[in-house]
């Protein structure tokens, strides 16, 4: 005997589960306010000041190219400065990247920040702030 309702129920359950997981992922994303406060607090420590210097040197190798590429063809009105907050693992990888405000340029650059390698931070999950001035 076949139960057509079962197939529909399984499909509906799968769709609900997928939507629930997507919503949970959004809820886990750190807000720009929390990322900013944590990054600013980190930067004020002696270890944070030393790390900021190493971070700036590492950004020199790729950041300008990324911003030039992402800003290419963008109208002057859309070339808005933004901030990037990166939570860096003890291996020097981006665990999370938060941009604010979200614009075409900041969303494009977000990928580069995700893929970049960073100096090993003073602690696991170390937040940093990278201001990007476009005007």
Q: pLDDT, tens digit, for every residue of 36-91? A: 999 999 999 999 999 999 999 999 889 999 999 999 998 887 789 999 999 999 99
* pLDDT for the residue 5: 52
How do residues 103-131 score in pLDDT, each as one tens digit? Answer: 999 999 999 999 999 999 999 999 999 99
Tokens found for residue 113: 């920040």
* pLDDT for the residue 19: 42
- The edge-to-edge listing of strands for the beta sheet with 126-132 is 94-100, 82-88, 126-132
* pLDDT for the residue 40: 97
Q: Is the pLDDT of residue 2 over 60?
A: no
d(CA 118, CA 23): 29
The band of 3, judged by pLDDT with boundaries at 50, 70 and 90, is: very low
Tokens found for residue 76: 């002057």
Q: Is the pLDDT of residue 94 over 60?
A: yes
d(CA 86, CA 31): 12
Element (H, E) at 98: strand 94-100
d(CA 118, CA 57): 10
How do residues 12-23 score in pLDDT, each as one tens digit? Answer: 344 444 444 444
């Amino acid at each position: 005997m076949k139960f057509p309702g079962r197939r529909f129920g399984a499909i509906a359950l799968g769709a609900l589960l997928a939507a629930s997981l997507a919503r949970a992922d959004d809820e886990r994303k750190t807000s720009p306010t929390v990322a900013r406060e944590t990054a600013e607090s980190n930067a004020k420590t002696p270890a944070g000041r030393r790390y900021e210097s190493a971070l700036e040197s590492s950004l020199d190798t790729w950041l300008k190219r990324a911003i030039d590429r992402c800003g290419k063809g963008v109208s002057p009105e859309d070339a808005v400065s933004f901030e990037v907050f990166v939570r860096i693992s003890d291996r020097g990888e981006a665990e999370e990247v938060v941009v604010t405000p979200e614009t075409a340029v900041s969303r494009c650059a977000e990928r580069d920040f995700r893929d970049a390698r960073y100096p090993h931070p003073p602690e696991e999950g170390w937040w940093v702030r990278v201001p990007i001035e476009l005007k």
